[in-house]
């Protein structure tokens, strides 16, 4: 069983400057500003000084091929797959709530969260960790966790930290707890692969997990920044009502279907060039945003970057359309792994579509 301990609140009154790490976490936007980069698929699997000249040449060609494809007006997927959550009871109505690529770890793991309803039964949730690497062949589940009363979850952005996932649940007396889990990716028993590390009293809406720093908010609109290892709240930030942001409540875990309307959706992105630089279509400075947008469906910003208009010139924007569907409005969640050239799209029926844009190894 995980160790349970209360979180005490530190004194946050007066002019004392907050701890540097919580302050940085609190001031960081939900989706950071893009930075110049060149995707290098599978680079995380070996350091450059261990690669031979032939391997470096292949890596360079593959990175350039991905860059050309990823930033073209209509990128072409080189590999696709459909993930169907296993062991959903017959007659249940599944719905995808979240998709997350796990940072680091060779870019080979994807986390999905599925809600399913059964007649005359409380809502249930199942978290799956999938191995989607080419070495695994077809994507397969390596870890599964079932729970009830889920109010939110967030993935650790620090791949070196043992805590991979934070899950927040509400108890029968409205008490809220957050549990930190690690994952045994090689476990023989998939149902025991999520390993509980810690559990503590928390707040209803988890926002971020970075190393041992966890941020959450409640109905009172106050963002608390926890030091999980030390066992107390380092800062409490009150958000004025006039600047209320629904992302601080993570209400997707309780929301219903999208509103009805015109049909059709697309997965679109932008390549944004610095306003002070010359735009070269073959040399974009960064990938700016990718979102799922539909005339009648939800507009989903998960995995997208929020960019201030002052940073980039509007006429220096290059757009891409990854996929379109004219009839169905079933896409509802999205995750992007720019380094590996991958997109994952959740659906209202529970399936998750995977699209790879990098050339296959050896090409």
If asked whether residues 83 and 188 sit together in one domain, one would say yes
If asked whether residues 113 and 68 sit together in one domain, one would say no
- Classify residue 333: in a domain, yes or no: yes
User: DSSP for 205-225?
Assistant: EEEEEETTEEEEE-TT-EEEE
- Classify residue 189: in a domain, yes or no: yes
Give per-residue pLDDT as tens, 172-214. 888 999 999 999 999 999 999 999 999 999 999 999 999 999 9
If asked whether residues 93 and 63 sit together in one domain, one would say no
Give per-residue pLDDT as tens, 283-310. 444 444 445 554 334 333 333 333 334 3
Structural domain span for residue 135: 79-202+328-357
Question: Is the pLDDT at 4 greater than 70, yes or no?
Answer: no
If asked whether residues 68 and 172 sit together in one domain, one would say no
Kindly state the average pLDDT of the residues 251-280: 60
Determine contact, residues 169/157, Cβ cutoff 8 Å: no
- Classify residue 109: in a domain, yes or no: yes
Give the whole-number percent of the chain exceeding pLDDT 70: 66
Which of 37, 61, 77 is the C-terminal boundary of a domain? 77
What are residue 235's phi and psi, to 5 degrees?
A: -155, 150
If asked whether residues 119 and 187 sit together in one domain, one would say yes
Instruction: Give me the sign of the Cα torsion angle 328, 321, 139, 334.
Output: negative
Per the listing, tokens 């009839």 go with: 327
Beta bridge partners of 295: none
Kindly state the average pLDDT of the residues 221-249: 78
- Classify residue 142: in a domain, yes or no: yes
If asked whether residues 114 and 195 sit together in one domain, one would say yes
How many structural domains does the chain have?
2
If asked whether residues 70 and 150 sit together in one domain, one would say no
Give per-residue pLDDT as tens, 143-171. 999 999 999 999 999 999 999 999 999 98
- Classify residue 166: in a domain, yes or no: yes
Which of 77, 92, 126 is the C-terminal boundary of a domain? 77
Query: Using the 8-state DSSP alphabet, how is residue 58 labeled?
Result: H
Give per-residue pLDDT as tens, 331-346. 889 998 888 889 999 9
If asked whether residues 122 and 166 sit together in one domain, one would say yes
Which of 77, 92, 114 is the C-terminal boundary of a domain? 77
- Split at pLDDT 50, 70, 90, the class of 6 is very low
User: DSSP for 297-330?
Assistant: S--B-TTPPP--GGGEEEEEEEEEEEEEESS---
- Classify residue 176: in a domain, yes or no: yes
- Split at pLDDT 50, 70, 90, the class of 133 is confident
If asked whether residues 194 and 54 sit together in one domain, one would say no
Please state, in angstroms and rounded to a whole number, the distance separating the CA atoms of residues 235 and 251. 23
Give per-residue pLDDT as tens, 39-65. 555 554 556 778 888 888 888 888 899
If asked whether residues 70 and 160 sit together in one domain, one would say no
If asked whether residues 61 and 84 sit together in one domain, one would say no
């Amino acid at each position: 069983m995980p160790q349970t301990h209360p979180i005490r609140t530190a004194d946050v009154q007066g002019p004392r400057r907050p701890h540097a790490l919580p302050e940085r976490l609190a001031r960081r936007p939900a989706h950071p500003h893009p930075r110049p980069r060149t995707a290098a698929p599978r680079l995380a699997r070996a350091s450059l000084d261990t690669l031979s000249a032939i391997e470096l040449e292949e890596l360079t060609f593959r990175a350039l091929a991905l860059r050309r494809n990823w930033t073209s007006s209509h990128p072409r997927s080189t590999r696709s797959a459909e993930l169907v959550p296993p062991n959903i009871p017959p007659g249940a109505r599944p719905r995808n709530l979240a998709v997350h690529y796990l940072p680091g770890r060779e870019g080979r793991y994807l986390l999905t969260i599925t809600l399913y309803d059964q007649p005359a039964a409380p809502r249930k949730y199942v978290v799956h960790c999938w191995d989607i690497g080419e070495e695994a062949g077809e994507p397969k589940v390596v870890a599964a966790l079932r729970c009830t009363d889920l109010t939110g979850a967030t993935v650790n952005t620090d791949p070196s930290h043992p805590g991979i996932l934070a899950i927040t649940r509400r108890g029968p007396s409205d008490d809220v707890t957050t549990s930190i889990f690690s994952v045994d990716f090689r476990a023989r028993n998939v149902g025991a692969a999520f390993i509980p590390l810690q559990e503590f009293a928390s707040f209803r809406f988890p926002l971020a997990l970075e190393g041992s720093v966890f941020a959450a908010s409640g109905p009172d609109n106050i963002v608390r920044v926890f030091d999980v290892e030390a066992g107390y709240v380092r800062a409490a930030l009150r958000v004025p009502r006039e600047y209320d942001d629904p992302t601080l409540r993570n209400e997707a875990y309780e929301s219903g279907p999208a509103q009805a309307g015109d049909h059709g959706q697309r997965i679109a992105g932008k390549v944004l060039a610095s306003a002070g630089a010359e735009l070269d279509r073959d040399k974009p400075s960064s990938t700016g945003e990718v979102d799922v947008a539909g005339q009648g469906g939800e507009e989903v910003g998960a995995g997208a970057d929020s960019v201030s208009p002052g940073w980039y010139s509007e006429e220096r924007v290059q757009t891409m359309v990854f996929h379109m569907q004219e009839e169905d409005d079933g896409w509802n969640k999205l995750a992007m792994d720019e380094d590996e050239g991958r997109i994952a799209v959740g659906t209202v029926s529970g399936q998750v579509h995977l699209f790879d844009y990098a050339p296959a190894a050896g090409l």
